[in-house]
Amino acid sequence: MNIAIIGGGPAGLMAAEAARAGGAEVDLYDAMASVGRKFLLAGKGGLNLTHSEPSEKFLARYGDRRPQIEPLLASFGPDALRAWAKGLGVDTFVGSSGRVFPKDLKAAPLLRAWIRRLRKAGVRFHLHHRWSGWDGQGALCFATPEGSRSVQADAVVLALGGGSWPKLGSDASWVPLLAGRGLHLAPLQPANCGFDADWSEHFRTKFAGHPVKSVAIIVKNAAGAESWHPGEFVITETGVEGGVIYAVSSSLRDEILSKGLATLRLDLAPDRDVPRLTHDLSRPRGKRTMATHLQRQAHIEGVKAGLLREVLSKEDFADPARLAAAIKALPLQLVAARPLEEAISTAGGVPFDALDARLMIRSLPGLFCAGEMLDWEAPTGGYLLTACFATGQVSGAGAAAWLNKRGTSEAVSRLKTED
């Protein structure tokens, strides 16, 4: 029995490993000249493989998709991922934030060891093979440098990524191919992305590229519940991006979709409360400028002071109580998410209700899906990679099990016919 894996990212490579372990012949196809390109890009920041936080908190990171992701992580979760890396000769450690990294903080050694092990196990790699759908006989069609190629496979695992980072291969070209087979897909949307704000020319010129550190963001979800997220972010030419913005990007994106804009509130002084700020800002400033007064009494300067001036009126600055309240909850309006191709990851795709527990499309038997093609999202911090590995493991093992069961059923049918 032969399984074709299309896509050479973490989900596809894990599907290949699991399918081969299940006894299948495995061929892996990728449009690029090498596999794991986005994986290597993630490694430039230290390769955050997973997270060490307690299971309940970890699972909560998947939001509304927790019920679908939880059983997948039960098959291959954070502990299994760390043990898997160790089996490749890559030890991991837990950083001060709870995130888990390889000890050398590099992706390339792990990827090389993984590919060597896959090749040794018998997985065949076919690069420069861009999948273009099926022919009239149901064979897979690929565009290659030598021309078109048709491939027959007993089962297929699609692990083609979402629509972010198209230059690395995740270009969403699979969307019309699956839609053409009658599959109803959730529209792809940017996740872990930046947002546009209507900065004044003065603010944009002075502060684009500046980090905003030691802050917190307060957002409301669709149910109206508030959440508080400490961290930092960066001012861009068009708006905001970075760590804490990514952590709340799904809420901001959904609010923009429903209301036309989103409002987040910035706590510019997380270590002080409103009464203390009001007391300190009420002190006479004498001949000192407001900038000096803010710096001395509230430790607000630079880009933080710039944000206050971007939003507040002169009257707000003249009233210590109003100024203190604004420092603790500065309203910042965002008008649009950045384009899909700029996002770190993608929401939307193949809905879980179209899949069985093995991640096979019910209406297309023998066709499995894994990774960011599925309709889920998670913040950065190891959650994305962990679930991509898990979906790859489940789909690859599921494809092999499905073929084994089908083969057994066919053999039993033949015996009954012969009898």
Q: Which domains does the chain have, with CATH numbers?
A: 2-190+345-418 (3.50.50.60), 195-337 (no CATH)
Dist. CA 399–CA 369, nearest whole Å: 10
pLDDT band at 44 (very low <50, low <70, confident <90, very high): confident
Helix, strand, coil % in the chain, rounded to nearest 5? 45, 25, 35
Residue-level pLDDT at 302: 95
For residue 419, pLDDT over 50 is answered with no
For residue 364, pLDDT over 80 is answered with yes
For residue 163, pLDDT over 80 is answered with yes
**Mean pLDDT on 205-219:** 94
For residue 416, pLDDT over 50 is answered with no
For residue 224, pLDDT over 90 is answered with no
pLDDT band at 266 (very low <50, low <70, confident <90, very high): very high
For residue 219, pLDDT over 70 is answered with yes
Burial tier of 418 (Cβ tally within 10 Å: 0-12, 13-18, 19+) = exposed
pLDDT in tens, 46-74: 899 999 999 999 999 999 999 999 999 99
Residue 190: beta bridge partners?
A: 346
Alpha helix locations (H) across 191-313? 201-207, 243-247, 249-259, 274-281, 290-298, 302-311
**Mean pLDDT on 265-286:** 93
CB atoms within 10 A of CB 125: 19
Residue-level pLDDT at 417: 46
Which residues are CB-contacts of 323 (< 8 A; sequence separation ≥ 6)?
277, 281, 308, 312, 316, 317
Which residues are CB-contacts of 64 (< 8 A; sequence separation ≥ 6)?
none
Dist. CA 119–CA 123, nearest whole Å: 5
Average pLDDT, the chain: 93
Q: Using an 8 Å Cβ cutoff, are 15 and 48 in contact?
A: no
For residue 414, pLDDT over 60 is answered with no
Dist. CA 66–CA 56, nearest whole Å: 10
